Amino acid sequence: MAQRSTPADPERRAVVRQGLSVAIATSLYGISFGALSVASGLTIWQTSVTSLLLFSGGSQFALIGVLGGGGGVGAAIAASSLLAVRNTLYGLQLTPTMAPRGLWRIPVAQLTIDESTAVAVAQDSVPHRRVGFWVTGIGVYVGWNIMTLVGALVGDAIGDPKQYGLDAAATGAFLALLWPRLKSMQPVAVAIAAAVVAAVLVPVVPVGIPVIAAAVVAVLFGLVSRPRSPESPLKKGSIL
């Protein structure tokens, strides 16, 4: 006799659909990264390896942005690394859910990005969080790398991608990801302060330094506004 569908099946399918939709939307602007990367001086294979190994959209755009603007390798790496620190914080959030052991820590660490974390923590149970993480993480990884290669090939063929608005597409995509998170005044204040600092520094400091300074502003805000309650932020009722 065939087993009846359990009530959890529709919920699981909904999580899969959510993860795939986020993966598809995120992967599409990998074209922008690929095109902008070759325009910044990286070769096609260097661009592809960057996505395969670094695999952090914000850090990748920061890296090529600094290099393309004439900044040094040190400034590019520093800007990229600062943005990548957030993935470490995501890992701390996800550890109770994913509980990776042994070699499983490698793929979990590689797939811990904005999108996989967001989909995972939005679910109500540990099994659904794990499904959301894996579907979104694997989907973005495959799609992002395919679209990176497509963008690199297209960018190499058409020349300056800015003529086609691909640089604006990347910025628009990041704003779309950021906007839903601005639900209180503090994130808005941090965003405005970081933007002002970066804008003031752009004309007077080397390329890449404004990005680092903006990140430092965000870090300082976080340190100053830490919760005073002794309770753990991962208490009952939190996103985890």
Confidence of residue 74 (pLDDT cuts 50, 70, 90): confident
Quick one: 110 and 163 in the same domain?
Answer: yes
Quick one: 199 and 147 in the same domain?
Answer: no
Confidence of residue 197 (pLDDT cuts 50, 70, 90): confident
pLDDT tens digits along 14-33: 999 999 999 998 898 888 88
pLDDT tens digits along 130-159: 999 999 999 999 999 999 999 999 877 766
Instruction: Spell out the alpha helix ranges (H) of 159-208.
Output: 166-178, 185-201
Tokens of 29: 């602007």
Which one-letter amino acid corresponds to residue 218?
A
Domain span at residue 157?
A: 11-167
Distance (Å, whole) CA 120 – CA 111: 12
| Cβ proximity of 131 and 15 under 8 Å | yes
Query: Is the residue at 239 inside a domain?
Result: no
Quick one: 80 and 21 in the same domain?
Answer: yes
Distance (Å, whole) CA 99 – CA 7: 26
| Cβ proximity of 215 and 83 under 8 Å | yes
Of 6-10, 177-181, 195-199, minimum mean pLDDT range = 177-181
Quick one: 130 and 215 in the same domain?
Answer: no
Query: Is the residue at 46 inside a domain?
Result: yes
| Residue 237 predicted with pLDDT over 60 | no
Query: Is the residue at 133 inside a domain?
Result: yes
Nearest residue to 192 via CA among 216, 172, 214: 214
Distance (Å, whole) CA 47 – CA 35: 9
Distance (Å, whole) CA 104 – CA 114: 19
For the chain, the first-to-last Cα distance in angstroms comes to 38
Quick one: 49 and 95 in the same domain?
Answer: yes
Quick one: 55 and 155 in the same domain?
Answer: yes
Nearest residue to 36 via CA among 223, 126, 166, 130: 166
How many domains is the chain partitioned into structurally? 2
Quick one: 41 and 143 in the same domain?
Answer: yes
Quick one: 221 and 126 in the same domain?
Answer: no
| Cβ proximity of 78 and 67 under 8 Å | no
Query: Is the residue at 174 inside a domain?
Result: no
| Residue 109 predicted with pLDDT over 90 | yes
Quick one: 39 and 81 in the same domain?
Answer: yes
